[in-house]
Structure 1
Amino acid sequence: MNDVIVDLQQVSKYYRNVQALHPLTMSVNAGEALGLFGHNGAGKSTLMKLILGVLASTSGEVKALGHCPRSNGAHEYRRQFGYLPENVSFYDQLTGREVLYYFAKLKGHTKVHAESLLEEVNLAPAANRPVKTYSKGMRQRLGLAQAFLGSPKLLILDEPTVGLDPVATSEFYHMVDRLKTEGCAVILCSHVLPGIEGHIDRAMILSKGRKLALGSLDELRAEAALPTEIMVSGMAEAEIKTLLNGQLTASTWLPQDAGRERFTITSDHKLAVMKRLLAQDQIQDLQLKQPSLEDLYHFYLSSTHSRSADTVSGGATHE
């Protein structure tokens, strides 16, 4: 699918004397998940509120599902939005079931659908308890259930895994992946980077209201040109250095890990080095560790890169 669900063209936002978002152009397609990353105050919340129609942009054009989210009649298609804020809050005296029934009615969905979501997020056994008795994780799961109401066409999730245990986190990503296959566009904002990269198609990194990077992880890895780590069992350090004919220096060698020799190599030498190592009979194990999303995040937010990006409106892009 390549239907554009979210489309921003040179969108900016000013708060009095503060430029919260510099001119930004980006899009999210149906069936695509975009990871949104950045430090506190980077502009992530402002961007999400502009897409939801909670805020009006200072300049530029915002479209969601083909419409301006603040236009007349916007409430009709905004029913196809799903949104989980960073800090979920419900009426504490209502039960979990009553809360979800309420949101289902607002969005024009049935109680039967609400019940199925209570089952999916494993809240059915506690559905008749007041929300004030819920733990943080239970409140988060209730928030996820209301965001998933109606199989939304656009799903915006702000720190969705906060308070979730590993099993609930895995189940959450399973639900997101399923919605993606049904054509939902997902914007997922999180500070918890490990585990997320297998569930996003592209990543966008913001800093001080500027877009530093936007692209698939492969595209960002190619641009960042961070070294790849290789771990070898069955060959000694000296043998590997001799085999690779001086390609490795002291600065690329890492301390042993569980008896494995470890070193880094540049991306342009990666394939050649792997082929040469795999041709050796004494090799017992060979592992490759590419730069992770966390590595890329720290690279793009490094002071040197951030300063260079400040001189270019919008920063690095991969559209």
Structure 2
Amino acid sequence: MIELKAVAKSFGSLRAVDGVDLHVRKGELFGLIGRNGAGKSTLFQLMLGLLVADAGHVHVDGGPVAGARFRAVKRMLGYLPENVVLYDNLSGLETLRFFARLKGVGMAQCEPLLEQVGLSHASGRKVREYSKGMKQRLGFAQALLGDPQLLFLDEPTNGLDPEGIREFYQILKTRQQAGTTIVITSHILAEIQQRVDRLAILRSGRIQAVGSVQALRAEMNLPLSFEIVAKGDDTQAIEAALRRAPFGELTINARSIAFSCPRDAKMSAIGALAPLSDRIADLQIHEPSLEDVFLGYTGVNA
């Protein structure tokens, strides 16, 4: 659905995008993550045809983001920018009808979309009376106008409460199941790590890694975290068994013992604990989070 090859874009002396190669498959939910200033928003604007690349090529749906063909392709795109700017003097319904006219979409879609994003109760209220989260929902509704086959969502859950975030991803799941391709950025890595099919890590305008969260974990070979809770106050037997194995430093706190374990030693750790099952009340094994993976590729102090 999307192909970027050796794409570069500069603003004066700033190299915002620097030789990016990227492919997004049709129907996938693709994440794009990076620090502020990494080039995420610039990449979005290049893929939308809002900016012209200095070098390389950007193709969407099999063709370049320019010319008469792309003007037709634009009608199947939806875009939610990071900072939603709306007309304060219009109501929610009037706002959506305004965007529908711009997109050439029938007015019949507007009210059902407002209901879908949880704004039907406020459809007649002026946007100036909306909270930040309500404006974000309205911006999402305009991105969904026309049933786009490709959605670009830049920090889309900004301002949403936990319920709103859950509803947002439920809508995305339904859209993806219907065949929509979705590209999303988010600073809340825990929010997207279980939801994206693949993601790209961007640093200083360059792609550092691309793959599923699990594939990137394996590539980084980050350790697993074990946390054991003893049945009683006596943790000595568990501690002794773990000290005989080549695991990381033990952290002991009352009835709990925590340690890190190389990924390829996972079964050895479980084997060392198996004879002590009558002494263990609980065992939790934690995979490295997407934040751990991200910091591993970008560097904590980068």
Q: 1:292 pairs with 265, 289, 292, which one?
A: 289
Q: Structure 1 281/156 Cα, relative in aligned 2: closer, same or farther at 3 Å?
A: same
Aligned to 1:243: 241
| Aligned match for 2:148, one of 139, 149, 152 | 152
Residues in 2 aligned to 1:232 and 1:287: alpha-carbon distance in whole angstroms:
7
Structure 2 CA distance for aligned equivalents of residues 66 and 238 of structure 1: 63
**Distance change in 2, residues 1:281/1:184 (3 Å):** same
- Tell me the matched-pair count: 299
- Residue 114 of structure 1 and its aligned partner are, at CA, apart by 1.5
Contact preservation (8 Å) 2:227, 2:283: yes
Q: Which runs of 5+ in 2 are unaligned?
A: none
RMSD over equivalenced CA pairs, Å: 1.9
Deviation digits for residues 92-121 of structure 1 (CA, Å, limit 9, x no counterpart): 111110111121222232222211110011
Matching residue within 178, 188, 191 for 2:184? 188
In the TM superposition, what is the alpha-carbon distance from 1:272 to its structure 2 partner?
A: 2.8
Between the aligned partners of 1:238 and 1:195, the Cα distance in structure 2 is 38
Match of 1:219 in 2: 215
Tell me if 1:103 matches 2:99: yes
Are 1:162 and 2:158 an aligned pair? yes
Q: Which amino acid aligns with 1:141?
A: R
Match of 2:244, SS state, is: coil
Could you tell me how far apart the structure 1 residues matched to 2:147 and 2:255 are?
49
Unpaired runs of 5+ in structure 1? Answer: 307-319
Matches of 1:19 and 1:197 in 2, distance apart? 28
Q: Which 10-residue stretch deviates more, 65-74 or 184-193? A: 65-74
- The change in CA–CA distance for 1:240 and 1:146 in structure 2 (over 3 A counts) is same
Say whether residues 1:56 and 2:67 are aligned partners: no
Alignment match, 1:317: none
Q: Check 1:279–1:186 CA distance in 2 against 1; reply closer, same or farther (3 A cut).
A: farther
Shift in CA distance, 268/191, structure 1 to aligned 2, threshold 3 Å:
same
Partner of 1:140: 136
2:251 touches 2:259 (CA, 8 Å); kept in 1? Answer: yes
**What is the rounded CA distance, in whole Å, between the counterparts of 2:159 and 2:300 in structure 1?**
31
Q: 1:262 to 1:119 in 2, by over 3 A?
A: same
Contact kept? 1:241, 1:247, Cα under 8 Å: no
Residue of structure 2 in register with 1:175 after alignment: 171
* Distance apart, 1:244 and its partner CA: 4.3
Q: Distance in 1 between matches of 2:271 and 2:113?
A: 49
What amino acid maps onto 1:145 in structure 2? Answer: A
Q: Tell whether 2:268 aligns with 1:272.
A: yes
Offset of 1:278 from its aligned partner? 4.2
2:90 matched to 1:89?
Answer: no
Q: Which residue identity is paired with 1:196? A: I
Rounded Cα–Cα distance in structure 2 between residues aligned with 1:240 and 1:82 = 55
What SS does the aligned partner of 1:252 have?
Answer: coil
What is the TM-score of this pair, normalised by structure 2? Answer: 0.93
Structure-2 residue corresponding to 1:33: 29
Q: Report percent identity of matched pairs.
A: 40
**How far is the alpha carbon of 1:274 from its aligned partner?**
2.3
Counterpart CA distance in 2 for 1:31 and 1:68 is 19
Q: Check whether the contact 1:51–1:62 (CA below 8 A) recurs between aligned residues.
A: yes
